[in-house]
């Protein structure tokens, strides 16, 4: 597909963000054809550049998150340096920032100031708690946002102890993805009105969407699921993790009755434990006793080609080597780190809407100063 036909071709994005939420959002924009220009601190740049493990020049994390972008280095604390941004601001379509509220105002780069230069600009602010509210200025990270939004409590075990989550859910699902979606909506609105807008993306706000079941229960009963309660939070033997003889695990989710009966038949679960009237822990223990008698390979063979919703928990390396994911070309794109090609980060953009180049470089710090600033 020619680059000119990509959905965001001709859209210029100024990216003031660092680390994860903003960079993931602007990676999605870049993959859909936008011109993304990172504005970074001189000398050190985005903190992510220094993370481990290191690729050829910068961290592997930074390389993956900034495929196909460009970089200019400016000291935003200096007014003369900020003035050099004015032509880019005037020509930009989107600005993404994730400073705490008030920082861009002190720099004279807040929405009111920027929109006076470019009223068509879509200005997206990503923060943990939003632009206003009692906690707007509070320092926090992904784990804190999930704790504050009640998400951690919903996956607590029988003792009430919540686990460390397996992913940075607030940063990506609560920050990057909503920012991306709202930027696209705002660009569509601009097509109709000719005016940009300020998007206030709160990572903690966005987490409540994931807790629809807890909200539904609270609406009816006034209570939310307690530890190990609820359909997908441990309150049924139909949605559990079971350990095998060789120390591996099965992710078992035969929720619907047809899947449940097939599962019970395949593991030879005695009839009393199949009934929903059976106490949950008794049924879970009975199933666990059966699963523990055989290896993961045995159970994988038993459940193969069966409509049962049970899989062996894969390691990350096993997932990368999956014939299914490989067949879909999930890891076919690459990013050039200055010396070698690395597997690019898969992103949820349809194949026909993405940049067609199989390999793209990431930007060195300040690599594009001359192109955009003349020096």
How does pLDDT run across 51-98, given as a tens digit for each residue?
A: 999 999 999 999 999 999 999 999 999 999 999 999 999 999 999 999
Q: Is 281 in a helix, a strand, or coil? A: helix
CB 84 within 8 A of CB 112: no
In tens, the pLDDT along 181-232 reads: 999 999 999 999 999 999 999 999 999 999 998 899 999 999 888 777 888 8
Q: What tens digit of pLDDT does each residue of 236-274 get?
A: 999 999 999 999 999 999 999 999 999 999 999 999 999
What are the catalytic residues? 141, 171
| pLDDT the model gives residue 261 | 97
Provide the pLDDT confidence category of residue 4 given band limits of 50, 70 and 90. low
Is 70 exceeded by the pLDDT of residue 1? no
DSSP structure class, residue 175: I
**Strand ranges across the sheet with 359-361:** 341-343, 334-336, 359-361
Q: Whose structure tokens read 């493990």?
A: 53
CATH architecture of 3-208+327-373: 3-Layer(aba) Sandwich (3.40)
- pLDDT at residue 307 tops 60: yes
- Residue 157, pLDDT > 70, answer yes
My answer on whether omega of the bond before 68 falls inside 30° of 0, hence cis, is no
Collapsing DSSP states into helix, strand and coil, what is residue 12?
strand
Q: Percent of the chain beyond pLDDT 90?
A: 90
pTM: 0.94
Work out the burial of residue 166: count CB atoms within 10 Å of its CB; fewer than 13 is exposed, 13-18 middle, 19 or more buried: exposed
Q: What is the band of 3 on the pLDDT scale with cuts at 50, 70, 90?
A: very low
Segment 283-300, tens digit of pLDDT: 999 999 999 999 999 999
Return the domain boundaries, the chain: 3-208+327-373, 249-312
Average pLDDT on 137-165 reads 90
């Amino acid at each position: 597909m020619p680059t000119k036909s990509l959905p965001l071709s001709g859209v210029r994005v100024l990216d003031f963000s660092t680390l994860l939420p903003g960079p993931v959002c602007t990676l999605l924009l870049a993959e859909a054809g936008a011109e993304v220009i990172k504005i970074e601190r001189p000398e050190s740049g985005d903190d992510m550049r220094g993370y481990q493990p290191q690729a050829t020049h910068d961290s592997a994390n930074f390389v993956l998150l900034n495929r196909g972008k460009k970089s200019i280095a400016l000291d935003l604390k200096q007014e003369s340096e900020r003035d050099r941004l004015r032509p880019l601001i005037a020509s930009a379509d989107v600005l993404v920032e994730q400073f705490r509220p008030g920082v861009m105002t002190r720099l004279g780069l807040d929405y009111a100031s920027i929109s006076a230069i470019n009223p068509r600009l879509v200005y997206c602010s990503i923060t943990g708690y939003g632009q206003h509210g009692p906690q707007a200025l509070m320092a926090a990270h992904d784990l804190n946002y999930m704790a504050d939004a009640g998400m951690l409590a919903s996956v607590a075990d029988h003792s009430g102890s919540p686990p460390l989550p397996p992913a940075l859910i607030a940063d990506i699902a609560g920050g990057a993805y909503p920012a991306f979606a709202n930027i696209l909506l705002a660009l569509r609105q601009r097509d109709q009105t000719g005016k940009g807008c300020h998007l206030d993306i709160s990572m903690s706000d966005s987490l409540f969407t994931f807790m629809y079941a807890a909200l539904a229960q609270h609406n009816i009963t006034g209570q939310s699921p307690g530890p190990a309660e609820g359909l997908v939070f441990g309150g049924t033997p139909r949605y559990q993790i079971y350990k095998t003889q060789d120390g591996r695990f099965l992710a078992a989710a035969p929720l619907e009755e047809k899947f449940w009966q097939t599962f019970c038949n395949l593991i030879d679960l005695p009839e009393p434990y199949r009934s929903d009237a059976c106490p949950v822990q008794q049924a879970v223990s009975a199933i666990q006793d059966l699963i523990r008698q055989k290896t993961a390979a045995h159970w994988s063979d038993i459940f193969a080609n069966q409509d049962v919703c049970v899989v062996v928990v894969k390691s990350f390396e096993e997932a990368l080597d999956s014939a299914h994911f490989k067949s879909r070309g999930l890891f076919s794109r690459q990013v050039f780190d200055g010396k070698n090609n690395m597997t690019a980060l898969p992103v949820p953009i349809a194949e026909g809407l993405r940049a067609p180049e199989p390999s793209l470089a990431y930007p060195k710090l300040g690599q594009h100063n001359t192109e955009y600033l003349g020096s």
